[in-house]
Amino acid sequence: MHNAPSVVYPLGRSRFQAGVLLGLWLSGVVVLILWWRSAPGWDWRLGLGLAAVVAAGAAAAWGWKNSPVGQLRWDGQVWSWESQGYQAGTAARELTVALDFQRILLLRLENHDHATLWLWADRRAMPERWLDLRRAVYSRRKVWPDATPFDISLPAAVDTAAASSSSRLSS
């Protein structure tokens, strides 16, 4: 199997994410309206429901507006994230696909400190590199011989097994 090509892909605010958030928020508004129409009168529970729907809408809008914007880079071995906050690029420990809708990917990028970034990748951002990104996301990371730890403790395990079997034979 060939390795995936190096790729740099721009990521930003997702219209798909905005649509999902808006749809969920509108569902909450519809439920609140139906509850208000079926309730005998206004009481504190309706006020609390209204406050919850308004707060959820504000939180969704704030979260979408502050979504990470930058570039995801794959060099053939390591993923890195480059944005205004991380201009030099931050090497990531692991990239996983959380959702795959063929034209849109929700990616989970974890760095060495276990901080997680959730990123939406959209084919419309750069259609000519979309398949390269998909190949890189789903490819196995190439393990270089010098990347493995020097002491993997396998010989020690073999020696103790040999020692225990030789002690059983001598007794």
The structure's pTM equals: 0.71
Query: Helices 15-38 and 44-65 sit at what angle, rounded to 10 degrees?
Result: 170
In the prediction, which pLDDT does 103 show? 96
Q: Are 25 and 133 in contact (CB under 8 A)?
A: no
- pLDDT digits over 130-164, tens only? 999 999 999 876 554 444 444 444 444 444 444 44
User: Is residue 162 one of the residues assigned to a domain?
Assistant: no
Question: Do residues 75 and 136 both lie within one domain?
Answer: yes
User: Is residue 164 one of the residues assigned to a domain?
Assistant: no
- pLDDT digits over 88-114, tens only? 666 777 899 999 999 999 999 998 888
Question: Do residues 31 and 74 both lie within one domain?
Answer: no
User: Is residue 36 one of the residues assigned to a domain?
Assistant: yes
Residue 104 CB-density burial (10 A; 0-12 exposed, 13-18 middle, 19+ buried): middle
Question: What's the structural domain count of the chain?
Answer: 2
Considering only residues 170 and 87, tell me which one the structure prediction assigns the higher pLDDT.
87
Q: Has residue 127 got a pLDDT over 90?
A: yes
User: Is residue 85 one of the residues assigned to a domain?
Assistant: yes
- pLDDT digits over 23-60, tens only? 999 999 999 999 999 988 888 999 999 999 999 999 99
User: Is residue 23 one of the residues assigned to a domain?
Assistant: yes
* Structural domain range at position 135: 7-11+70-147
- pLDDT digits over 12-29, tens only? 899 999 999 999 999 999
Q: Has residue 165 got a pLDDT over 50?
A: no
Question: Do residues 91 and 133 both lie within one domain?
Answer: yes
